[in-house]
Amino acid sequence: MSSAAETTAASPPTPTPEAPTSTTKNPLLLLSYGLIIGLWFVTQKILVPYVAHLLLLVISLLYVGCHWSLVLREEQAISRGDVVPPNDPDDGSPPPPPPPSETLRKEDAMQFPLMGSASLFSLYLAFKFFDKEYVNLLISLYFCAIGCLALTVTCAPLFASFLGKLGAKRLKFGKPVNHSLPAFIFGESPMDLEVDLTLAEGFAFVASVVFCGFYFKTKHWTMNNVLGISFC
């Protein structure tokens, strides 16, 4: 008696999970931003108890940082293709995946002590052999430039929350720039100088430039705290 041949049906492909839709306006996120900004203004005129100030500020900073870390994790999953980006509610088409973001490698972390030691030793030599006025000027310019970028990244989500879909509009332009520097520094000439940012990031950058300009002139301690918070 011949046995019937068994046919195995092909199993359907496992669907790629869809990325959770991030709400544009998160009440707790906006409340955290409001507390951070409100404490910055209130403490200029009113003496806030230290414990209350510390708890409110730290909790708000942690919530904002953790929230945007989760958004970054979601974007990385979309760029790797692990999840499907949510469809646009207007036309139903998925938005383009974000570019793959860089992550900290083990080799990079191992270089931190060496780079930190070299930076501190270079700073010691600069103060020892050069005029302190010029060294402080260079440090202020460097801190303002880096602080402007950090403040832009920090404030861009806040602008995006208020601007909505208008803030997501991308501004992209580029221009070739000729240079005579070695190729290992800026690559072959001409160098393609491209700018790709959203409208919210553009507004945040302009506001950050104005803020850092006032900080460079006044060196006010509260503005210094704002830049320090941005690095968090």
C-alpha atoms less than 13 angstroms from C-alpha of 15 in its C-beta half-sphere: 4
Residue 90: its pLDDT value, please?
52
Residue 19: its pLDDT value, please?
45
What span, in angstroms and rounded, lies between the C-alpha atoms of 43 and 24? 30
The winner for highest mean pLDDT among 21-30, 148-157, 202-211 is 202-211
Domain boundaries, the chain: 18-99, 126-232
Q: What mean pLDDT, rounded, does the chain reach? A: 76
Burial 21-40 (b: 16+ CB within 10 A, else e): eeeeebeebeebbebbeebe
Please write the tens of the pLDDT for every residue from 11-33. Answer: 444 444 444 444 456 788 888 88
Residue 210: its pLDDT value, please?
93
Query: Where residue 3 falls among pLDDT bands split at 50, 70, 90?
Result: very low
> In the predicted model, is pLDDT for residue 209 greater than 90?
yes
Q: What percent of the chain has pLDDT over 90?
A: 7
In DSSP notation, 142-157 reads HHHHHHHHHHHHHHHH
Q: How far is CA 171 from CA 167, 201, 203, 218, in A?
A: 10, 10, 11, 32
Please write the tens of the pLDDT for every residue from 188-200. Answer: 777 777 777 888 8
Higher pLDDT, 8 or 221: 221
148 burial level (CB within 10 Å; 0-12, 13-18, 19+): buried
Residue 21: its pLDDT value, please?
46
Residue 207: its pLDDT value, please?
92
> In the predicted model, is pLDDT for residue 4 greater than 50?
no
Higher pLDDT, 104 or 89: 104
Residue 47: its pLDDT value, please?
87
Q: What percent of the chain has pLDDT over 70?
A: 72
Residue 10: its pLDDT value, please?
45
- Give the residue among 197, 176, 104 at the shortest CA–CA distance from 208: 197
> In the predicted model, is pLDDT for residue 5 greater than 50?
no
Higher pLDDT, 79 or 143: 143
> In the predicted model, is pLDDT for residue 80 greater than 90?
no
